[in-house]
Amino acid sequence: MFHRNIKLIIAGLIIITGIWQMTEGYIGNGIFLIILSALPIFLYFKNEFILLAFLKLRKQDFPGAQKWLAYIKNPETALVQKQQGYFNYLHGIMLSQTNLTQSEKYFKKAIELGLNMDMDLAVAKLNLAGLAMTRRRKLEATNLINEVKKLDKQNMLADQVKMMKEQLKKI
């Protein structure tokens, strides 16, 4: 919606207004405005369109998620580095159903830019391992699967890793 620097300016203005309200004797208004300033600061670090795209993906609504991501016109300037990573991660997930070469490009870029959660990184590397297996690159797939096992601390991807290891034996 707004550029990331504009969000910080809006937060600063709300904080200044809150302090002004407190000096005028309206303590409740000032406290409310200072608490309200947390919203633009939160949206600086977590882009609202990426959050909405995650919600759509959770419901398996790929066209809806694509629509929300399309609102981000220039991700290199509009997003922080980690947000760019998630932007590419979401594109990779959506394209993994149809276009494998594009999906691989997006996943590699997401890993390069960085993802906040180990689970997201593990899913990205698991998808890359699957793509490497389809292209008969056994060594690369094995290395990626080993990295996934290290990142998956709750063993949520254990079944997928086991299935991929069995498929690697057949290659």
**4: pLDDT strictly greater than 90:** no
Contact 125, 144 (CB under 8 A): yes
39 and 110 in a single domain? The answer is: no
**78: pLDDT strictly greater than 90:** no
Contact 171, 136 (CB under 8 A): yes
Q: Which domain holds residue 72?
A: 47-170
Q: Looking at the 3D structure of the chain, how many domains does it have?
A: 2
**66: pLDDT strictly greater than 70:** yes
Contact 130, 104 (CB under 8 A): no
26 and 59 in a single domain? The answer is: no
What is the pLDDT at residue 14? Answer: 96
What is the pLDDT at residue 5? Answer: 83
Question: Rounded CA gap, 109 and 37, in Å?
Answer: 33
33 and 21 in a single domain? The answer is: yes
Question: Rounded CA gap, 72 and 24, in Å?
Answer: 40
160 and 77 in a single domain? The answer is: yes
57 and 128 in a single domain? The answer is: yes
Q: pLDDT tens across 85-143, in order? A: 999 999 998 888 888 888 889 999 999 988 888 888 888 988 898 888 888 888 888 88
> pTM (2 decimals)?
0.81
User: Torsion-angle region of residue 139: left (phi > 0), alpha (psi -120 to 50) or beta?
Assistant: alpha
Q: pLDDT over 70 for what percent of the chain?
A: 99
pLDDT band (50, 70, 90) for residue 1: low
39 and 62 in a single domain? The answer is: no
